[in-house]
Structure 1
Amino acid sequence: MQNSSLVQSLNSAQAQAVTSEADRLLVLAGAGSGKTRVLVHRIAWLIQEQHLSPHSILAVTFTNKAAAEMRHRIERLLRAPSGSMWVGTFHGLAHRLLRMHWEEARLPQNFQILDSEDQLRLVKRVMRQLELDESRWPPKQAQAFINSNKDEGLRPDHIDDYGDLYQKTLVTVYRQYQEACERGGMVDFAELLLRSHELWLQQPQLLAHYQRRFRHILVDEFQDTNRIQYAWLQMLAGNTVPITIVGDDDQSIYGWRGARIENIRSFGDDFGRTEVVRLEQNYRSTATILNAANGVIANNRDRLGKQLWTSGDDGEPIFLYAGFNEVDEARFVAERIQQGLQQGMRRSDMAILYRSNAQSRVLEEAMLRAGIPYRIYGGHRFFERLEIKNALAYLRLIQHRDDDAAFERVVNTPPRGLGEKSLERIRLTARELKIPLWQASLMVLQHRELSTKAGKSLAEFMAMVEQLDQEVRGLGLSEQAERVIEASGLIPYHQNEKGDRGEARVENIKELISATREFEINGAGNSGEETGASLAAFLDHAALEAGDTQAEADEDCVQMMTLHSAKGLEFPVVFMTGVEEGLFPSMQSAEDLGRMEEERRLAYVGITRAMKKLFITHAESRRIYGSEALHAPSRFIREIPPHCLQEVRAAAKITRPIAPSGGYRVQEPDAPYRLGRSVRHPKFGDGVIMGCEGLGPNARVRVNFAGAGEKWLVAQYARLELL
């Protein structure tokens, strides 16, 4: 099969991965090694050379954007439509499964998908019903508790409260929330996976049907799977369905949101005898950048192991800058970006990365002062914007009256004289009778429990919804959307907002109508099912898009983002800022080996985003979260091989730091005092070296002591013990 035209453009490792006949295949794909190319070519090879039907292939990835790109590349490679393939995200495929088997899943046929904001709104309503004080029991905390337990495959009855009031209360919120979802026919994002996994468990004949149907499963970014996703795949693959997973344990950086690095490490043990193919040739970065990344990640334990390399040249050294403070650091970054622009680079060729969002403020100020356009990557996507969610809620309510989240969102938007007291009366009736808010509103009106003004406003609102339902029947999707938006009053409502914001909101609402037209033209999108361009299909599409957390970058501007947001991206020039102890790695990871290793993987991801040039910066002192702190340079800097680094001085001079045995130093080779080194003084106690000055016996050392603060000491008299 190696002579197939499909593999002629691949390197030997890629070709081995594409043509493997193993039933269990792990493709360990390093950063920039062409993993998507391998995944797409393997699907094409299974179809062309192994004669599998496209209908029998299931391919899973983590974002709608990645799924769309995969589908497009498959079609281009095969020169044929890929509509019969199941290609999508875990949530998208689980949703598709539940739509097809709603009865077996014990769901209403027209179940609604709750996005994060609507889910939070429902959690708040449940907590009000339980008379919980939001200041003591933050709703977002309860929401996170619900989602994290669903990701672990746990229902309320599966969670032990250990007699702890905090745990017991959150379990009660979870239980009441679940009951509210069942009553309203609502499904949140975490529920999609949990419910579809339960479908496998409770319907063995259905599971057997899909195990016969799917002849190969392929999974991208496997290191990012959580427990329920892993269990879902394990059930579906069973002992019969071949599976290919592509991932990189060195890029597992989402443990804080449930991803389990153990999944990729234990794949061979859990799924059976596995062939492992390593993709180590990098097509993105220079040899110097790769050597730096390899040097850092080698300090992690229990790696599956690989060494990135390139056939390209060494490229420029990695430039290391120590700012006096965070303002000086930001000024340096802005100056270097201006230099790049003067040399003919585009703004979008450059990216500024930071560990936490709190760091962006000073960097943004420096960019503004320098007049450099920038974009904070990861802003609100289209379907997450307030005005769009308002319009979609009207459409959802017309589609499904029992959608409590949609009802609450628009019953008084635009304002129509329904105060919180009137709404609470409706909620109380719904709670007491265990009925949706729409039905509760009918009961409240029937018994005249509201003031005359509030009752009239509520009746008019409900009559409008009923009338719109009748008017739009038989109309095309875009005509339905246009009519509902017009009748809702949202456009004049948002037009009354001051400044550009109101205008932008109106433009977005109009763009929503354009989105429905595009959806009409493309049918149900890329689902592969003949669902048509119905309102229900569009609303599902919008909810799934809103749940996809990857944001789009556009226009020619410098990209600014957290290191987590940078995964999957690449830029010719990258600035990694704030690379210092206590910030990156974070203070919280210092006592936890698992968290420290994830921080190191994050550093590896950051380094490998750079294609041509990498700047690493840190500040000797930094004011953050309202207080000033002195931080040593990060251990990740010290882990970079010394020959890869060049120190940049403030006066724009460049000198190579002398750093034998992996240490980042600013003085002669035999000096024992490295920046960041922990020391002990007989009087001042333990401290960290923050700076060195001078040479020989008169050299001075600046040490920040935990109990005594910062001290300058003459090295030969300091009596410092190295720790």
Structure 2
Amino acid sequence: MNGAGGQLSLIADDAGDGPEDAARPNPDEPALSGRAGGRAGPVEPTDEQRAAIAARRRDAFLEAGAGTGKTTVLVERYCAAITEDEVEVEAILALTFTDRAAAEMRSRIRRELVARSRAARAAGATARADELIRAARATERAWVMTIHALCRRLLAAHPLAAGLDPRFRVLDAAEAVRLRDRAANAALDALLAAGDERVARAAAAYQPWRITAMAVDAHERLRSQGMSDPRLPAVVDPLHSPRAGEERRALTPAEIEAATGARAALERVLEGFHRRYEELKVERSALDFQDLELRALELLRGAPALAGRWRERFAHIMVDEFQDTNHAQWEIVRLLAEEHGNVTVVGDDDQSIYRFRNADLEVFRGERRAALASERRDVLPLRGNFRSLPSVLAAVNEVGRTLLDGFAELTAGRRAADRPGGIELLLTLDEGRGQDARRWDSDEIELDPPPSGSPPRVIAEARALAERLRELVDAGEAPRGEIVVLLRAFTHVDAYEEALGRAGLHPFVVGGRGYWTQQQVEDLVRLLGVVANPLDDEYLFGALACFASGVSPDALWLLRRAARDERGHDRHVWPVIEWRYAGGAEAGGDDPEPPRCDPAPLDEIPEADARRLERFCRVLASLRAEAPLLTIEELIERTMSAFRYDLGLLARDGGAGRMANVRKLMRLAREFEQNEGRDLAGFIALAAESTRRDEREGMAAVQAEGHDGVRVMTVHAAKGLQFPVVAVPDLGRALNAGHQRGDVLIGAARDGERGGSGARGGAAGEGDEAGDGDRDARRFGMRLAFPSASSLGLWELVELDAEESFDEAEEGCRLVYVAASRAEDRLILSGIHRPADLEPADEPRPSDTPLRRLLPALVARGWAGGDAAVTLPGPIPVEGDRRPPGAELRVRVSEPSPRRAAELVRRNPPPPEADPLAAATRPPPLLDAGSSAVPVGHLSYSALASYERCGYRFYVERVLGARESVAGHPPDAVAEDPSAAGEPPDDELADPGRGRALALGVGNAVHAALEWSARHGWQRPDPGSLELLLRREGLADERGARERARRLVEGWLDSDLRAELASPGARAEVPFVLGLGGTVVRGQIDLLVAGAAGVPTVVDYKTDALDGGTPRELASRYRAQREVYALAAGDERGARAIHVFLEAPGEPVIDELGRDELVAARRRLETLIERMRGDEFEPAAEPYEALCFGCPAAARLCPRPAWRPRR
């Protein structure tokens, strides 16, 4: 293999930054249920895909639509470059949009190379097989990464040439915002202190916060256009920028003078801000993300010899998500591929949705125009969609035709299915203003609105959607765990979350927003604020009012009254509280002088509140004494523990998500301290400023896998994912709703005013350093503000604003299309409309809603309004050219009326299949009101069991954080198959921990198969489904894995115990939370069954290899697991815990635990936890190979290991 020759491949379709476990990531794979459509197992590529894979010898532009298998094409092209073009792995550069996408691509490439190696070995080509397996191993160091990771590696390889500290780091987004704010304020202060009159007048006219915001915004816009040293564009004398319908007028001399002065002031603040921001970054040896791009671009442009060496390094370059790149990124790629000669570009402009990350769709469109005009490049389509049923695809195509200019229809790769599917449009009528208009906010309509503040019409729409989703769940047509609601923005997410909860659909908001205003975050910030400074009355009252303290509002009012001097002036409250309820403990002495206050109101405070205040004083005194010795992260945890806040938090609904937000606060504190030092007051100020700015910090991530409820997420989070049932609401929201008028706008040059590809904005400053040579070609607009008059648009402000609004509306259309194209089996569109929306529009406007454009198209197809069915054209099949019969879109209209409102107000219990077991079999309450204060802690069952098996390994791995040692072969006990235990390691799989990985992979596949079977009346999974599960674990071609998995699954399904436990009340994969010894233990039960006598039965499948042992002997290792499961599911009558070793399903290990046994089990487990807290980490008394395999302590630290790594 060699690195000669060159090729550039840019692939763009639908990868994204949503949670991988939220949906199946591969459009070519069906669900385990075996629904019709999709593609199971190895299949031949379509003609389109085959052409895209083969186009490696000629320039080509590939347009890959949604769900067309572009990732498969990308992986095949990568592997073909190695196997057919003889290119080394290190000579291929693959750029992805996210780190997650990079990891997934690397994994798939490795699996494909391993599969090809096996095929070569089977054909007798041993040398070729060895070469391919070496390539598969080399993928661990392959150049598969994001563009920012590439830039970082470029700069790290040549720091001196780039003018950087070799130890530079990259700022995270939050720290970069803090530094920008600090730099902008410092720049303005310096200019004002220096007596700059123009800056002083501008600060008076705009207000200081506004002029600094203008400078920061201009700085970001200019740098996103490739300018490393931002300067405002050169302009002519000030011109009036008229609004629509206005005539341009001449400016008065005073306006000209004010405009010239304001622009000069902005220029000076911008220059000072940029200089100070660079200084702050240099002090920290840090770069922001834009620095990575600009510095890498400068490096490649400024050092031709160095750039040439990097060009020689790569024979192939692949870039994922090309439609979401910008000019600087594309210029970097061009510099690395300048002399190659074979360039292939792939993308889909209909899925470009990242303008807010400075993506510029004109880069993609400019390259497409160049490809169409060139005789050396082919333009190849990928339009065959294997994700959506034909009926769903008909609606997706209708959305595309209506909203997107130049939309190319997708063709259908899936077949129609027996599985329930369909397409629906739910309309909520609101006639808006007018005396007789029907509106949801009229006096006679009562919707029992939630506290979110959403308008009544939005509440009505959300509840109508939730009502329909509940109907589908009740009818068995859509399990609630397979439904996702996709929103363009989270503006009204609370209304949808409330509506889904009211309908009993157990909503889960993925990512969320408004992190800093979450109650638990605000509570802890207030508690920290009091630790830092008890004299801050705002934080003090907040801390006293939260449930950690529980002081009543009446007592707070009395405290405020008491903290007044003899003249009635308010004074600090803390000295009063400390004097009365802490005995002056912090001040010293037993009877300190009382503060100036009115003690009479204190006598009226109830005794219960007095005790709470006394406890608050004791805890606060302790925390203030400890605070100087603790990190901020440790102080947060200690504060929670001291006030028992963690226990109360976990006992509330949504406790896991609330605690995840607290853990995120601790992480943010750790990162703050790493960068800013141990500054508690600074961290509290950061939280306050983030809240004031309404930073869109996302909620802490909570594992969504197995969540039996409807998920709510943004379209951006869902990019690259797919779901059986997708609802796309809020289609009555304006397409340009995210557009905000700016005070300063800077646009790229018009076509023809600069060099490059001819696209608007072109490539950043070809031939100039970072594009600075194009400064004069950029366009500029500014709003002139007066202290006592209305503002005035200058230069090209109004025109640039209109362009921004238009671009925002275009992206709004693409967001709707991307959301609709996530659906596999059912698509539900929903929105608020007015009667006028049905009428054809003279011309589209940015302020249109999606429905304003969709509904006239439905009218043209015969819809006359109201509940009805509309026939949409069916998609053309991938293999064929005849359009099938049309698809029926069902339209339902919800009109405002008291009767309809009463229906939408109704609350529904959870659906039957999602109900917990009867009250008798529910887990005991998570926490008891009388629980004592304990340190906060979470334990998974696996952690507790790991500690019980070997406390020393638990300590080394989970406390010290040491990594596994896997040098050497795994012991027989963890081999994939006991019959193969004595065989030598397979040359094709050089992973030292192969046996353990095989065992885990088979176990995961078997558990997933049995979960599916339990949820489908114990149906037997077909071989293709089991093979698919093994493929997902990377084991489809492993010797023995398929047969072993089949034996284990069939063994359970054919067992007498399975038949005995067959019951409608059986539930698979049941998550639980158990309060145990002041610690929260979390886990998941494989199968939970309500027994005939009402005693719950817990079943746990074990895929362990018995290896000559008996189930009872091996079950002794899982005692803690049985006890935890029994405590989680049992009641006062006890529980039955069963371990089923699937190699011997006829020999289940059954433990009957009565009430006394449950009490004893709880005591034993709590003793384990206390030992853990007491730092008792003893090695296992009777170690065995499977226990010791991979332990980091086995080589030298452990006194009696049963296995040591091979040296």
* Cα separation, 2, equivalents of 1:261 and 1:157: 22
Q: Paired residue for 2:183?
A: 126
Aligned with 2:854 (options 625, 637, 645)? 637
User: How is 1:97-496 mapped onto 2 (pairs within 5 angstroms)?
Assistant: 97-131=154-188, 136-137=209-210, 143-160=216-233, 162=235, 164=263, 165-166=265-266, 168-240=268-340, 242-268=342-368, 273-299=376-402, 303=406, 305=408, 307-313=410-416, 316-324=421-429, 325-342=457-474, 343=476, 345-379=478-512, 488=631, 490-496=633-639
Counterpart residue identity of residue 248, structure 1: D
Contact kept? 2:75, 2:105, Cα under 8 Å: yes
Q: What runs of 5+ residues in structure 1 fail to find an aligned partner?
A: 1-5, 389-408, 421-484, 516-545, 623-629, 661-674, 676-689, 693-723
Counterpart position of 2:70: 35
Q: Does 1:604 align with 2:736?
A: no
CA shift in 2, pair 1:202/1:367, >3 Å: same
How far has the Cα of 1:250 moved from its partner? 1.2
Q: Deviations over 1:519-548 (max 9, x none)?
A: xxxxxxxxxxxxxxxxxxxxxxxxxxx999
Classify 1:205/1:562 alpha carbon distance in 2 versus 1 (closer, same or farther; 3 Å): same
Q: Give yes or no for contact 1:13–1:278 (8 Å, CA) kept in 2.
A: yes
Paired letter, 2:284: G
Structure 2 CA distance for partners of 1:553 and 1:127, relative to 1, 3 Å: same
Q: State how far apart, in whole Å, the 2-side matches of 1:240 and 1:418 are.
A: 67
Q: Deviations over 1:555-599 (max 9, x none)?
A: 313221233333222111111112126367778899855443332
Is 2:514–2:697's contact at 8 Å kept on the other side of the alignment?
no
Match of 1:93 among 138, 150, 168: 150
Give runs of aligned pairs for residues 517-596 of structure 1, distance below 5 A.
Answer: 554-555=704-705, 556=707, 557-580=709-732, 582=734, 593-596=806-809
Q: Secondary structure at the match of 2:460?
A: helix
Question: 3-state DSSP class of the match of 1:353?
Answer: strand
Query: How many Å separate the matches in 1 of 2:42 and 2:310?
Result: 30
Whichever residue aligns with residue 361 of structure 2, its letter is I
Alpha-carbon deviation of 1:169?
Answer: 2.6
On the 8 A contact 1:318/1:615 being kept in 2, the answer is: yes
AA at the equivalent of 2:331: A
Q: Identical aligned pairs, as a percentage?
A: 30
Deviates more, 1:610-619 or 1:631-640: 631-640
CA contact (8 A) 1:120 1:143 kept: no
Query: Residue 728 of structure 2 contacts residue 828 of structure 2 at CA under 8 Å; is this kept in 1?
Result: yes
Q: Secondary structure at the match of 1:146?
A: helix
1:331-375: CA deviations, max 9, x gaps? 122222223333164433111122332121211111222232222
1:702-721 Cα shifts (integer Å, max 9, x gaps): xxxxxxxxxxxxxxxxxxxx
Going from structure 1 to structure 2, the CA distance change for 1:22 and 1:142 (only over 3 Å counts) comes to farther
CA-CA distance at 1:156 after TM superposition: 2.8
Q: Which amino acid aligns with 2:851?
A: S
Query: In the TM superposition, what whole-angstrom CA distance separates every residue of 1:428-453 from its partner, at most 9, and x where no partner exists?
Result: xxxxxxxxxxxxxxxxxxxxxxxxxx
- Measured in 2, the distance between the counterparts of 1:553 and 1:635 equals 38
Give, as a single letter, the amino acid of the residue that structure 1 aligns with 2:328. I
Matched-pair contact (CA < 8 Å) for 1:579–1:634: yes
Change (3 A) 1:246 1:200: same
From the superposition, tell whether residues 176 and 510 of structure 1 become closer, same or farther in structure 2 (CA, over 3 Å). closer
Deviation at 1:207, TM superposition (A): 0.8
Matched residues in 1 for 2:864 and 2:726: separation? 16
Mapped to 2, the partners of 1:419 and 1:206 lie a distance apart of: 60
1:196–1:348 CA distance, 2 compared to 1 (3 A) = farther
Following superposition, the deviation at residue 489 of structure 1 comes to: 5.6
Relative to 1, partners in 2 of residues 1:24 and 1:303: Cα closer, same or farther, differing over 3 Å? farther
User: Is residue 25–residue 274 contact of structure 1 (8 Å, CA) maintained in 2?
Assistant: yes
**Is the 2:383–2:410 contact (alpha carbons within 8 Å) kept by the matching residues of 1?**
yes
1:619 is displaced (CA, Å) by 2.2
**How far apart are residue 177 of structure 1 and its match?**
0.9
CA deviation map 1:399-438 (0-9, x unaligned)? xxxxxxxxxx9xx999778999xxxxxxxxxxxxxxxxxx
| Structure 1 residue 493, shift from structure 2 partner | 3.2
Cα RMSD between the aligned structures? 4.6
* Per-residue deviation, 1:634: 1.4
- Tell me the alpha carbon deviations over residues 147-195 of structure 1, each in whole angstroms, 9 at most, x when there is no partner: 4332221123554365514455334312321233234321011111111
> Does the residue aligned with 1:136 lie in a helix, a strand or coil?
helix
Unaligned runs of 5+ in 2: 1-40, 115-135, 190-202, 236-259, 430-456, 537-627, 650-657, 672-695, 741-800, 836-846, 874-890, 897-1207
Which letter maps to 2:426?
A: Y
Structure 1 residues 505 and 568 mapped into 2: Cα distance closer, same or farther (>3 Å)? closer
Change (3 A) 1:631 1:53: closer
Structure 1 residue 117: deviation in Å?
Answer: 0.9
After TM superposition, give the deviation of residue 26 of structure 1 in Å. 2.0
> Structure 1 residue 71: deviation in Å?
0.6
Which has the larger displacement, 129-138 or 324-333?
A: 129-138
Cα distance in 2 between the residues matched to 1:275 and 1:148: 34
Q: How far 1:612 moved relative to its partner?
A: 1.1
Separation in structure 1 between the aligned mates of residue 868 and residue 271 of structure 2, nearest angstrom: 59
How far apart, CA to CA, are the structure 2 residues paired with 1:552 and 1:645?
46
Residue identity in the other structure for 2:712:
M
With 327-336 and 136-145 compared, the bigger mean Cα shift is at 136-145
- 8 Å CA contact 1:102–1:109 kept in 2: the answer is yes
2:89 is matched with which residue: 50, 54, 57? 54
**Hey, what's the Cα distance between the residues in 2 that align with 1:184 and 1:511?**
20
**8 Å contact 2:488–2:816 — kept in the other structure?**
no
**8 Å contact from structure 1 (residues 59, 218) kept in 2:** yes
Q: Which amino acid aligns with 2:481?
A: S
TM-score (norm 2): 0.40
Does the CA contact (< 8 Å) of 1:290 and 1:309 recur in 2?
yes
Alpha-carbon contact 1:197-1:232 (below 8 Å) kept:
yes
CA contact (8 A) 1:292 1:644 kept: no
What is the CA–CA distance in structure 1 between the aligned matches of 2:666 and 2:699, rounded to whole Å? Answer: 23
Matching residue's letter, 1:554: A
* Distance change (3 Å), C-alpha of 1:147 and 1:70: farther
| Structure of greater Rg | 2
8 A contact 1:249–1:261 mirrored in 2: yes
Q: Secondary structure at the match of 1:137?
A: helix
| Gap change, CA 1:157 and 1:280, over 3 Å in 2 | closer
Distance 1:311 1:372, change over 3 A: closer
What is the distance in 2 between the residues matched to 1:550 and 1:76? 32
User: Letter of the aligned partner of 2:307 in structure 1?
Assistant: L
8 Å CA contact 1:153, 1:228 repeated in 2: yes
